Amino acid sequence: MSIEALKVKLFADGADKAGMLEMYAKPYIKGFTTNPTLMRKAGIQDYEAFARDIVAAIPDRPISLEVFADDFSEMERQARLIARWGENVYVKIPITNTRSEASEGLVQRLSHEGVKLNVTALMTLTQVRSTAAAIHGGAPACVSVFAGRVADTGIDPMPMMKEAVGILSENPVAELIWASPRELLNVFQADAVGCHIITATNDILKKLVLVDKGLTEYSLETVKMFHGDALASGFRL
C-alpha cells in the first residue's frame, strides 16, 4: 500500500475553517465536502458567510455545499443561490426530503441547466440508478453513497460500490464518492473498486502517515503508550 499509488481522489470532509485550510495545504487533498451537521458541530451560525469565506479561501478545488430546505421549491432556490458563490462549488442535494419524496426531478432540472451537483445520502443501488438517469447528459456531478453507514448495518459495502462504479461509467462527467468512511482502510477499499473519490474527516486523513508503517514498531509504540499512561495515572496495586 502507498499513497502515491492511489487512483481514488482524496476529499476532506469538515466545517472547521482551520482544519479545512490545513488540508488545503496538502497537494494530495483534491477537494472538500461539508454538510449542515458538520457546520452545526463546528458552531457555524451564518451559513452564507461561512460558505463564501471558505470558497474565497479555497478557490481552486471542488467544494460541496448542501441545501438545507425540505421543500423542493425552496431547495431549488437555495441551490441556485449557492451555485453562484463560485465556479468550484457543487451543490449538495439529498436523495430525498424528510418525507421520503425523491429529489430526482429537481436533480435532473438543475443538472441540465448547468448546476454542478453532489447528490447525497444514497445507500442503495436503486438510488444510484435513479440518480445516474437524472444527471445523464447534464453538468458535472458527484454521487455520494454513504458506504460507511451501509457498513454500520453489518453489510459489506464493497460489492455495492463496485456495481455503482459500473452504473456511472456511461456518464463521463459523473463521479462516485465513497462517503462516511470509518477507517483509513476504506481509502484503499474505495481505490480497489474503482471509486473516483473518497471524502473523509481530518482525523481519518491524518492517519495517512501510518501507511507502510512497520507493524512490529507500531506494536511497541502501543505498549509504550499504555505503560506511559499507567505511570502518568499513578496507578498502584
Asked if residue 24 is part of any domain, the answer here is yes
In this predicted structure, the answer to whether residue 1 has a pLDDT above a threshold of 80 is no
Nearest to 138 by CA among 169, 165, 107: 107
> With pLDDT > 70 as the criterion, what percentage of the chain qualifies?
100
Asked if residue 226 is part of any domain, the answer here is no
The answer to pTM > 0.75 is yes
Asked if residue 216 is part of any domain, the answer here is no
44: cell is: 457555524
Nearest to 106 by CA among 72, 145, 143, 70: 72
19: cell is: 482544519
Asked if residue 233 is part of any domain, the answer here is no
Q: Is 103 exposed, middle or buried (0-12, 13-18, 19+ CB in 10 A)?
A: buried
pLDDT digits (tens, 9 = 90+) for 94-122: 999 999 999 999 999 999 999 999 999 99
Asked if residue 218 is part of any domain, the answer here is no
Domain that holds residue 144: 9-211
Asked if residue 197 is part of any domain, the answer here is yes
Contact 15, 34 (CB under 8 A): yes
Q: Is 219 exposed, middle or buried (0-12, 13-18, 19+ CB in 10 A)?
A: exposed
Which residues are marked as active site?
92
**Number of domains the chain is built from:** 1
Asked if residue 19 is part of any domain, the answer here is yes
Q: What is the mean pLDDT of residues 194-212?
A: 96
Asked if residue 219 is part of any domain, the answer here is no
pLDDT at 107: 98
Assign residue 54 the CATH number of its domain: 3.20.20.70
- CA distance readout (Å), 224 to 115, 144, 193, 203, 207: 53, 40, 37, 22, 19
In this predicted structure, the answer to whether residue 2 has a pLDDT above a threshold of 80 is no
